[in-house]
Structure 1
Amino acid sequence: MKKIINLLLVLAIIGCSSQKKEERQADNNQQKKDKTIVTPKEKWDVHKEYDKFGNLIKYDSIYSWSYSNVKGDSLQVNLDSIMNSFQGYFDKNVPFKWNEDFSFFPKKDSLFMSNFFKDDYFFRKWQTQHSELEKMIKRMDAERNAFLKKFYPGLMESRDKN
């Protein structure tokens, strides 16, 4: 009976240790996979110029690197074009203007200038406008997302998959 118990104990220990090895191998494989994703594409360009005697007179080198997106399925988009068209879309669809709706300086009407002479005028203005600012930023993000989904749907789908 002792032999059977000892045998079962040895088998349990061996089984647990082999399970740990499998977990380590899985972790190592995941780390290797992660390293290949994070590695940038590197390029060196070296330009040398020699005089008529073979002496090096100019030496210029350029090192560049870039990352592709995680899955390698990049979309070809002109970012400048997107930003320019977004500016017009944003101006039409967002009903506020920064200078008009969000000025910390008093209006030129003396009725609104009473708080201007208090010690913490700008801080108080910030406190009252903080929640308004948060609402405005959320609205701006919503408009940006609507713009990208409407005019560049593939761009948003690619981002959401990653």
Structure 2
Amino acid sequence: MNNIAYIALGSNIGDRETYLRQAVALLHQHAAVTVTKVSSIYETDPVGYEDQAQFLNMAVEIKTSLNPFELLELTQQIENELGRTREVRWGPRTADLDILLFNRENIETEQLIVPHPRMYERLFVLAPLAEICQQVEKEATSAETDQEGVRVWKQKSGVDEFVHSES
């Protein structure tokens, strides 16, 4: 497994934490993926379509032998398995998995753009990512994050807590 990728995860329907845990476990259970780092979980205000519940967001680092497009397919399979529907852009969802970084590659196709095009505009992505990724400078202090509707909801406690959870 020679590729390193960073994935943002979010949920704002139902048992949000359970959906995040299941998504991390499903990533880790794939034969070509190992989850190596997990961030804290943040509770965040919705962005874009604001008439919906607050999100829980986090990020993970993985090592994988998948190429970026195979990883995209896997993340979409996990979203579907967890009941994701796409009815409203930026709307409510059980699970949302976005590839933020893949090695140090720049990819721009109709299906996939890496680095994620709005990553640096979104504190709900940057705050958890900065915890686990040395490539990303922490662009906000905790106080600034709280002011932007992004709050630590649950401190990270390690990969094992997620990859060994029941799905």
TM-score interval, normalised by the smaller of the two chains: under 0.3
Larger RCO: 1 or 2 (CA < 8 Å, sep 6+): 2
Higher-Rg member (1/2): 1
- Which has more helix, going by share of residues? 1
- Which has more strand, going by share of residues? 2
